[in-house]
């Protein structure tokens, strides 16, 4: 390993070559629009509306999590309700359901796309109606690592039972189903511009809405839900979820390179598919067929339990002290290095081996129905997400990952086997 090699991160924010982000941010300062509204917010929303198409409207918000929250609220989700949500996802798809006093009903995944299984979805809807006498209030499929879900089947089931769909495309910015941008099929589409996403505003998100009325309603809730009086009068509980004009300036610059970023993620995926094709037991997760046009936000592999990775005997021997895989924030200390549902030892050994070679990787998301915090939530499972969790791993992708980096990552994976 060369001494000079820099750490290859999973996915890093990457600014436009022309520095347009700084130009728009400077404009915000120069014109004193240093607030959560203004010209950058409006222009960023227009850029996003042009990007997603289908005559949709977009509201810029402070986070993708806020977008999930407000979409649920606008679907009428409240205390005692249930929402069908993909189990194989990041926690922000389901946590906002609980913010509203409702209960997530977790739906397992299909083997090929790793996303919401339409058969299980329909089984869950029928069963919940039978058990509770009420329909679930919304359906939340997730574009995991940018891979589309089966939009045709999920929308058909949603229409049959007349349940609104909130597409969580936080990871799927620019992914398409049969050529149409994901997030434009349901009643709402969620976007995230967190630092590690396809484009970034440092932190931020957006909600794709059907029309101006829906956009207006979301904006009202995002700005503390005020009624038209000279003083602050409230007839509903609102939130402070609007995107800042500074962050929106970054977003405007990022929109000029969004298509380049997506193209690069797809290029990196193609390289992994080519270079990893000859390692027995290691498989790159690919699109099931041409209907699924994934942005490949992160590239993922599975590692067969038979593959022996150097150092495997030491996996899970020490308690982790820091957040793994670029995760931000504070983590709670734990007493034991193991849980009753975790990636296989060879997966953990590969993560450590790669890290020792300055390559950041991460296990795939642990399914929500296996999370202690959701132990009492109903779940409709087929074993798919749990089994992928045990063998799956995310590899670096994004504009900063060069062809040479992919070769180095693949060579390091080859070196780890044995």
- The answer to whether 171 contacts ligand PLP (rule: CB under 6 A) is yes
Range 343-402, binding ligand PLP (CB under 6 A): none
Q: How far is the CB of 312 from ligand PLP (least distance, A)?
A: 29
Give the C-alpha separation, 44 to 254, whole Å.
Answer: 10
Give the C-alpha separation, 275 to 298, whole Å.
Answer: 16
- The answer to whether 65 contacts ligand PLP (rule: CB under 6 A) is yes
Q: How far is the CB of 314 from ligand PLP (least distance, A)?
A: 30
Q: Which stretch binds ligand PLP (CB under 6 A): 87-95, 103-111, 236-244, 336-344?
A: 87-95
- The answer to whether 192 contacts ligand PLP (rule: CB under 6 A) is yes
- The answer to whether 63 contacts ligand PLP (rule: CB under 6 A) is yes
Which H or E run includes 192?
strand 188-192
Choose which of 38, 148, 174, 205 interacts with ligand PLP (CB under 6 A).
205
| Number of helices followed by number of strands (H, E) in the chain | 12, 15
- The answer to whether 300 contacts ligand PLP (rule: CB under 6 A) is no
Nearer of residues 271 and 394 to ligand PLP, judged by Cβ: 394
Give the C-alpha separation, 139 to 143, whole Å.
Answer: 13
Token digits for 182? 């994901």
Q: Which stretch binds ligand PLP (CB under 6 A): 62-70, 124-132, 231-239, 287-295?
A: 62-70
Distances (CA, A) of 299 to 13, 144, 236, 340, 348: 16, 11, 42, 26, 17
Nearer of residues 57 and 197 to ligand PLP, judged by Cβ: 197
- The answer to whether 142 contacts ligand PLP (rule: CB under 6 A) is yes
Torsion on CA atoms 147, 247, 253, 72, rounded to nearest 10? 30
Token digits for 263? 């193209």
Residues touching ligand PLP, count (CB under 6 A): 15
- The answer to whether 170 contacts ligand PLP (rule: CB under 6 A) is yes
Where does 165-238 have alpha helices with state H? 212-222
The DSSP 8-state label assigned to residue 143 in this structure reads: -
- The answer to whether 93 contacts ligand PLP (rule: CB under 6 A) is yes
Token digits for 64? 């993708």
Q: Select the residue whose beta carbon is closest to ligand PLP and give its number.
A: 64
- Name 116's bridge partners: 109
Please write down the HEC assignment for all residues of 17-72.
CCCHHHHHHHHHHHCCCCCCCCHHHHHHHHHHHHHHCCCCEEEEECCHHHHHHHHH
- The answer to whether 92 contacts ligand PLP (rule: CB under 6 A) is yes
Q: Which stretch binds ligand PLP (CB under 6 A): 14-22, 123-131, 168-176, 220-228?
A: 168-176
Query: Does residue 56 contact residue 167 with C-beta atoms inside 8 Å?
Result: no
Q: How far is the CB of 10 from ligand PLP (least distance, A)?
A: 12
Q: Which stretch binds ligand PLP (CB under 6 A): 163-171, 238-246, 287-295, 352-360?
A: 163-171
Task: Single out the residue of 246, 188, 172 nearest to residue 221, CA to CA.
Answer: 188
Token digits for 48? 């996003």
Q: How far is the CB of 320 from ligand PLP (least distance, A)?
A: 21
Query: Does residue 267 contact residue 397 with C-beta atoms inside 8 Å?
Result: no
Q: How far is the CB of 190 from ligand PLP (least distance, A)?
A: 6
Nearer of residues 143 and 282 to ligand PLP, judged by Cβ: 143
Q: Which stretch binds ligand PLP (CB under 6 A): 36-44, 60-68, 231-239, 349-357?
A: 60-68
Interface residue list for ligand PLP (CB under 6 A):
63-65, 68, 89-90, 92-93, 142, 168, 170-171, 192, 194, 205
């Amino acid at each position: 390993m060369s001494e000079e090699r820099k750490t290859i991160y999973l996915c890093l924010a990457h600014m436009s070559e022309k520095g347009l982000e700084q130009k728009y941010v400077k404009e915000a300062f120069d014109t004193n629009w240093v607030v959560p509204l203004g010209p950058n917010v409006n222009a960023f929303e227009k850029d996003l509306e042009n990007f997603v198409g289908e005559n949709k409207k977009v509201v810029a918000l402070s986070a993708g999590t806020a977008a999930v929250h407000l979409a649920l609220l606008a679907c009428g989700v409240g205390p005692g309700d249930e929402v069908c949500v993909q189990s194989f996802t990041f926690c922000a798809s389901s946590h906002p359901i609980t913010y509203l006093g409702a209960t997530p009903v977790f739906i397992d995944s299909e083997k090929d796309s790793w996303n919401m299984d339409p058969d299980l979805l329909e089984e869950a809807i029928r069963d919940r109606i039978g058990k509770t006498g009420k329909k679930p209030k919304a359906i939340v499929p997730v574009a995991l690592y940018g891979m589309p879900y089966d939009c045709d089947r999920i929308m058909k089931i949603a229409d049959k039972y007349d349940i609104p769909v909130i597409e969580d495309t936080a990871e799927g910015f620019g992914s398409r189903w049969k050529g149409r941008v994901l997030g434009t099929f349901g009643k709402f589409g969620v976007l995230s511009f967190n630092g590690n996403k396809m484009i970034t505003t440092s932190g931020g998100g957006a909600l794709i809405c059907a029309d101006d009325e829906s956009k207006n309603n979301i904006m009202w809730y995002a700005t503390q839900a005020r009624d038209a009086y000279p003083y602050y009068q409230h007839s509903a509980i609102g939130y402070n979820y609007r995107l800042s004009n500074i962050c929106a300036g970054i977003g405007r610059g990022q929109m000029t390179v969004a298509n380049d970023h997506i193209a690069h993620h797809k290029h990196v995926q193609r390289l992994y598919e080519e270079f990893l094709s000859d390692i027995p037991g290691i498989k790159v997760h690919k699109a099931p067929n041409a209907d699924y046009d994934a942005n490949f936000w992160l590239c993922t592999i599975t590692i067969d339990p038979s593959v022996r990775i150097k150092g495997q005997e030491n996996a899970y021997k020490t308690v982790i002290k820091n957040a793994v895989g670029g995760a931000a924030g504070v983590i709670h200390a734990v007493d034991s290095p193991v849980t009753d549902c975790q990636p296989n030892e060879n997966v953990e050994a590969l993560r450590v081996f790669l890290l020792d070679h300055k390559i950041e990787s991460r296990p795939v998301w642990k399914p929500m129905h296996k999370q202690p915090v959701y132990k009492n939530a109903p779940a409709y499972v087929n074993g798919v997400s749990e089994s992928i969790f045990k063998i799956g791993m995310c590899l670096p992708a994004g504009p900063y990952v060069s062809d040479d980096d992919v070769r180095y990552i693949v060579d390091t994976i080859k070196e780890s086997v044995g």
